[in-house]
Structure formats: C-alpha cells, structure tokens
A and B are shown apart, each in its own frame.
Chain A
Amino acid sequence: MIISRISRFISDFDNLLALFAGACAVLAVLFVLFLPLPYSEDQLYPKEIDESSPLYPYDRGGSPFERADIHVQYPENSPFAGYVTAYLTPFSLALSRLTPHAGTTIVAHPGGILDEILYNTRGLDTVVETTILFIAFAIGSYLFRKGS
C-alpha cells in the first residue's frame, strides 16, 4: 500500500525536483552533523591570495618567463612543469604593469575562469570544461535557430 503510494509519487516527473531537493536537504543536514571535517595541510594545489598584487585575484605567484616550483602529483608525467606557470603574453605583462586591473579583466572573461584550474598539470580538465561550454552553446544555438 505504502509502496504503491510512493511509486505513484515518484512516477510523476513534476515531483522529481521536490524529491531531489528533499534528498539534498537531508544530505545537507547530515553534512552539518559531520562538521568539522579535517583539513589536510599537505595540499597538492595550494593557493595564496595577495590582495595588493595588480593581478589579484588571478595572481598565483611566480614571475613570468622564469621557472617556478609547482606541486605535481606525478612529476614524471610533467617534466616541464614550472616553466609555464606564469603564462602571460608580453602584452598582458605590459598591461599588468600599466594598470592595476589586469587581473580582474582576465577573470571577467570565460577563458580566465577556465584557467582557474591549474594549467600545466591538469590540462585534460581545461579541455573537458571548454567541451561542456561548447555543448551548452551548441544546444542553445540550435534551439534558438529552430524557433526562427
């Protein structure tokens, strides 16, 4: 009896969002009960924020065209890690010296957001992220053009 009632509720897809929201709420409560979670000090991808830098919030340390030490999970897979850590073009380097807003400009366009993921050692992530964006654009443009 109760099962048929539950299955009737689940079978209506208008209730789906409510069901998922309920599951999320239950998990959120559980999550709060599990707090505090331990923070591992030994972070593979550390991040420091320097608000005085003109490249803030894009600045991740290191100086352009010089080698920097970056943390790598598998050093043997990325033999040239560190050489491209400050991957500014000469133009954006000059821009960052002229104005205090170069960092916010980079962050304000989509490529900058994608680059928030570490660049050299996690290249596949960057590729998959842009793929998701492209798929979303493809669906959106197809639906838009279908209407005309």
Chain B
Amino acid sequence: MIEIGGQPLFLLPFGDIVIYFTPFTLTLFILALVFTILVIISKPERQIDIVFGGDAYLAKEISISEMKFRRFMAIACGLASMGAMVTGDIFDFALFTSAVGICNVGIVAAVKSRHVQNAAYQYGLVAMSATVPLFAGAAIVAATTGTLSILELALPGATKVPLVVKALLTLGVMGEGMAPFYAAKAEMFRAPGAPYVIMCSLSSLLIFLRVIEVVLTV
C-alpha cells in the first residue's frame, strides 16, 4: 500500500466497505470530480462537418432532450468513476466498474449516426461479457483469501491473491473500460456533443489506472 498509493490520508467507512483516500486515489478522484463538474456546467459543442474540396458545411442539429439524456449519463458515469477510484473493496470496485461500462454505452446510445451506433453496439457486447471475468475475479479473491477488503489484503501477513485472479480482474476492467482497444471508442467519439463523449474516454482511463493500483496492492 505504502509503495504504490501512499499512506491513506482519510478513511470513510460504510460498514465493511471502507473508502480510502491515498494520494494516488485522491488524485484520480479529484480528476473525475473536476471533469464531472465541467460536464455539468459546460454547454455541448455543435459539430460541423466541412465538405472536403468545397466550401459547403453541414451543422448537425441535436435535440435538447437527447443532450439532456447524454449529460445525465455523463454525470452518472462521473459519479461511478469517482466511486471506483476510492473504494477499498474488490467487489465494490467491480460493481462501480460495471456501472462505468453501462454508462459509457448510455452516453452514445441515443446518437443517430449509424456508424456510432454500430461501434457502441460492439462495445456494449464486450462490456457485457467482461462482467464475467470481472466478477469471477472478485469472487475468487473472496474464495482464496477469505476477505474482499483491499486494506486487509495489503497487510504484510495477508494471503496473496493468485496471479491468474489478478489477470481476470484486469481483463474484466479492460473489457469494461476498453482501455487498450480504443478502436471502438474512437468511433464512438464521432458522436457530437464534446464534453459528454469524452467522459467515455476519461472514465475508462481512470478505472484502468485504478485496477493497476489494486492489482499491485493485493
């Protein structure tokens, strides 16, 4: 714990689930918080396509209700990533991560571009199937060590989580956040509505950074 995340500055207990703020998790938490506030207060972009080789351009009109829904999903995604950044429990982390995954699909679910919809569909399938290794990893952590608390697992005398279980957790987060395979994400970015769609990218980056900390700690 001390080597990677630093000493916990503040503990917030919810029964067995203890939320902890180390310099590492606090930094990620503040990043998610700042971006969520930006999403709340900023106005969405109006995307303009310029016709190549000519001087024509097309402004894309998006209805207010669609933007409202997308902002709602982006805020929910921000809250879920904030929770995933600071939670001190493996199962809770898996839950927050799958919330991030479903919010990412929700942000682009209402886009009217067929291309974006296809990408979001593929991404949704991967995010859905990624819950299997993610929650299997969390369950096997409980079975092999008897506990789920990251703080307990980080203690020197605690039972170590097997390497392959860590790999399961990481693969689950990779599927949820799509961290190394940005192809689908990049296609999803073609959706208009700048601050909201960028939440997809930021949240997946954050959960990937966090799972690295979790895997190195336990």
What 1/0 mask marks residues of chain B from 8 to 22 whose CB sits below 8 Å from any chain A CB?
Answer: 000001111110000
Task: Determine if A135 and B106 form an interchain contact, defined as CB atoms under 8 angstroms apart.
Answer: yes
- Give the number of A-B contacts (CB < 8 Å): 153
Chain A residues with CB under 8 A of B159: 38, 40
Report which of A14, A37, A123, A129 forms a contact with B162, defined as CB distance below 8 A.
A37
Residues of the B chain whose Cβ atoms lie less than 8 Å from the Cβ of A120: 15
**B183 contacts across to A, CB distance below 8 A:** 10-13, 15-16
For the complex, is B73 an interface residue (Cβ under 8 Å from A)? yes
Which residues of A (98-140) have their CB < 8 Å from a CB of B? 120-125, 128-129, 131-132, 135-136, 138-139
Binds B, one of A26-34, A49-57, A58-66, A87-95: A26-34
* Stretch of B46-54, B143-151, B205-213 with 4 or more beta carbons under 8 angstroms from chain A: B143-151
Q: Which residues of B contact A16 (CB under 8 A)?
A: 122-123, 126, 181, 183-184
Chain A residues whose C-beta falls within 8 Å of the C-beta of B95 in the assembled complex: 125, 128-129, 132
A135 touches B103 (CB 8 A): yes
The answer to whether B102 and A139 have CB atoms under 8 Å apart is yes
If A13-B118, A132-B98, A143-B109 touch, whether A20 touches B126 (CB-CB below 8 Å) is yes
| A30→B17 contact, CB < 8 A | no
User: Is there a chain A Cβ closer than 8 Å to B113's Cβ?
Assistant: no
Query: With a CB–CB cut-off of 8 A, which chain B residues contact A27?
Result: 133, 164, 167-168, 171
Query: For residue B105, which residues in chain A have a CB less than 8 angstroms away from its CB?
Result: 139
**Which size class do A's interface residues fall under?**
35 or more
Shortest C-beta distance, B11 to chain A (Å), equals 10
**Which residues 59-114 of B have a CB within 8 angstroms of A?**
69, 72-73, 76, 80, 83, 87, 89, 91-92, 95-96, 98-99, 102-103, 105-106, 109-110
Assembled-state Cα–Cα distance A128/B14 (Å): 12
Partner of A37, one of B14, B92, B144: B144
Contact indicator per residue, chain B 144-184, by CB within 8 Å of chain A (1) or not (0): 11111100100000010011110110010011000001011
B residues with a Cβ closer than 8 A to A are: 13-18, 69, 72-73, 76, 80, 83, 87, 89, 91-92, 95-96, 98-99, 102-103, 105-106, 109-110, 118-119, 122-123, 125-126, 129-130, 132-133, 140, 142-149, 152, 159, 162-165, 167-168, 171, 174-175, 181, 183-184, 187
Q: A16-B122, A128-B99, A129-B95 are in contact. List 15 more A-B contacts (CB 8 A).
A: A10-B181, A14-B118, A16-B181, A24-B132, A30-B167, A34-B163, A40-B144, A40-B145, A73-B149, A121-B15, A122-B16, A124-B14, A125-B89, A128-B83, A128-B96
Q: List 15 A-B contacts (CB under 8 A).
A: A13-B187, A23-B171, A27-B167, A30-B164, A34-B163, A41-B146, A44-B146, A44-B147, A44-B148, A77-B18, A78-B15, A122-B92, A125-B17, A132-B95, A135-B99
